[in-house]
Structure 1
């Protein structure tokens, strides 16, 4: 009986510390959910210029008659993604040309399994 009383007297302060730590952790994660330390700041006008240009083209096309296939082919032949978006952010998208050195999901799984098996 003395051992049980001794153990329960040790558990109470530990329980309080665990609850206090959990509450502090919840408070901090909710207060700073998107804390980005060490990231470079982007130019706020950079993206809006592209979006404004895309919106302007969209507004122009929405007021006109639907163009024919030849017009679409001419407008998209410049290497853009589509007629409206053009080449905006084309360098940020994954394509076969810029994904030659990419690691596939299968490679990642095999590498993980090798680590688990101790081969790596």
Structure 2
């Protein structure tokens, strides 16, 4: 019992530091999202055309009978899939445009090399 009491008495000054650090962390984490306002601001009409085209196609499909297998395959081969088509194909990651990227394993290995100095 005396050992526990002595350990707690030693940690008493550290408790203040832990509380102060936690308060600072909470304050900073609530303040930093405000910096996101400087990031990319999209134009409100930027995606309107694309969405209207998707809505038009959706309305057409809803009014017609279910498409056959050949029609679905033909539509799917036009882009990424039947629904998306080729929308934002240049923004999506896939093997053909990700050859220069590093894997998680490589990132960890590089980080450990930096930390250890090897």
Q: What TM-score range do you get, normalising by the shorter chain?
A: 0.5 to 0.7
Greater relative contact order: 1 or 2 (C-alpha under 8 angstroms, separation 6 or more)?
Answer: 1
Matched with 1:69 is 69
Count of residues in Structure 1 that have an aligned counterpart in Structure 2: 101
Cα offset, 1:68, TM superposition: 0.8
CA shift digits 1:5-45 (9 cap, x unpaired) = xxxxxx9xx99xx59x84x936x826x73433543432221
Instruction: Find the aligned partners of 2:111 and 2:43 in 1 and give their Cα distance.
Output: 38
Instruction: Tell me if structure 2 keeps the 8 A contact 1:57–1:84.
Output: no
- TM-score normalised by the chain length of structure 1: 0.66
* Root-mean-square deviation over aligned CA pairs: 2.9
Instruction: Find the aligned partners of 1:37 and 1:91 in 2 and give their Cα distance.
Output: 25
Structural mapping, 1:6-85, within 5 Å: 22=24, 25=27, 29=30, 33-36=33-36, 38-78=38-78, 80-85=79-84
Instruction: Find the aligned partners of 2:68 and 2:105 in 1 and give their Cα distance.
Output: 43
CA shift digits 1:77-97 (9 cap, x unpaired) = 32x112221111111111111
Q: What 5-or-longer segments of structure 2 have no aligned partner?
A: 1-12
- Give runs of ≥4 in structure 1 deviating > 4 Å: none
